[in-house]
Amino acid sequence: MADSAMLIDLTQDSDSEDQVRAKSPRFFSRLAHRTLSSTIPLKRKSDTDSETTSASSFITAVQQPINNLYPNNNNNDNTNGNDTSNVLFNLKQRSQPYTPSPAPEIPGGVSVVIPSPSAQLKREIDSAEFIPGTKLTAFSQKYYPTDAFEKRASRGAYPAARSVKRAKQPFIIGRPGPFLTEKGRKPVIDMLCDSLRQKLASIDGPPVTVAPGDEKLLAQSVSDFEFINRYKLRAGVKPIEDVFNAGCSCKGICNPSRCTCLTQEENSNERIIPYSTANDASRFWGLSQDFMKRTSMIYECNALCGCPEGCWNRVITHGRSVRLEIFHTGLRGFGLRSPDLIRAGQFIDLYLGEVITSKHADEREKAAVTRNAPSYLFSLDFFNNDDNIYVVDGATFGAPTRFMNHSCNPNCRMFAVSRTHGDQYLYDLAFFALRDIPPNTELTFDYNPHMERVDRVAPGAVPCLCGEANCRGQLWANEKKKKAR
């Protein structure tokens, strides 16, 4: 069987848009046994020279292979009455690209038909101009600039500084710029007041308001202060694990004589009962008059107890029940009062803040002294008084009780309250009324109950401004405020 040669026609996949695709056979037998088929794809005939295009395409592709196969041919065959040499001559005169038709296959070889450029590419080639003497290389700065980034950076650089004699420059005070005078822009103080209202609205319980006329002053004072509803535990502070906590097994209402949450009197089996009902309101539970004279810890029932949420021994858990108002006192800064009548023994609110270690508290105390700023530190040292205690800092985060001022004749007192009985390092600080407090009376407590009265304020001491008849004259004996005990 005779060998076959293969023809690869690239025009089938890359014809230009002005070519007509025609199916052609992929394999041919020897040229001596077949004549050229009319189905071989030819470049589309132009309007001016279709015959020459067809003939030249055919002759260019097949002349050399034919000469190799038929050396005696001598190009004497005629194509449409024209000599082959004439066709080749005409082909050399053509400047348009063309697609040659397939050449007769060479025994054992492969013939390739090369596609011609598209019409758009031909137009671009015809319109292109070449400048004599131009030599384009990859290193040409005109076409391949290597300093493009430097030029771009120089355009965006700051201008060179000018030497200006400040002493000779006039100092002109004009009207404020558009930032402060733009129509529709809310003044900064109004935005601070809006922020203050949002902060006060986030506090749990009855409303906390600001006295009329003091809102702007308070908004500026607490612009960096946040009201919170529970402690914020900082680095180094870890509450005790739940496995070490416990609750009572009471069913229904706790029996004061048997509730295991209550502590016992020393050398006695009697329980210390912190709360009692008011004389004028049987549903009201507050500190008993007897317990107000004590310095004991209040132990309340918690979530682990069998008693219901409405248990009488959950006063702190029930939360604040009085309205509060922040107002400006004058020389003593802001203070706290309530528009409601507060009964003796009634719970007012918790003292909240960031719970930090004693080491961090010392660092904050030093920083406050350096800035001549007040500190709001209270140590949780009811059970321990060492370097491992925790301290509550209400300077940046806290409750409305942060604004309670000192008095040597206070109407409130801070008590320690535990709701996690196994944790001796972390517990609550709660304010209770020591006596009946009329509405709009300032709420105060003693910052330093252990301070003795002095006839003359010592140099560098923190003076007391309470104005009471029994005023001790000073709060601390030196400028550095000690952490309240």
Active-site residue among 231, 275, 376, 447?
Answer: 447
Active-site residue among 351, 376, 390, 427?
Answer: 351
Distance CA 285, CA 281 (A): 9
Burial class (CB in 10 A: 0-12, 13-18, 19+), 240: middle
Distance CA 425, CA 355 (A): 11
Residue tagged 């005990």 (tokens): 485
Q: Tokens for 196? A: 């203050």
CA distances from 188 to 3, 185, 192 (A): 96, 9, 6
Beta bridge partners of 413: 432
Q: Which of 340, 301, 342, 297 is nearest to 318 (CA)?
A: 301
Beta bridge partners of 391: 356, 379
Residue 35's region, left for phi above 0, alpha for psi from -120 to 50, else beta, is beta
DSSP string, 63-101: HHHHHHH-TT-TT--EETTEEHHHHHHHHHH--S---PP
- What is the CB neighbour count within 10 angstroms for residue 271? 18
The three-class DSSP label of residue 288 is coil
Q: Which of 449, 208, 464 is nearest to 352 (CA)?
A: 208
275 is catalytic: no
351 is catalytic: yes
| Contact predicate 407/469, CB 8 Å | no
Instruction: Give the residue numbers annotated as catalytic, written as ranges.
Output: 351, 447
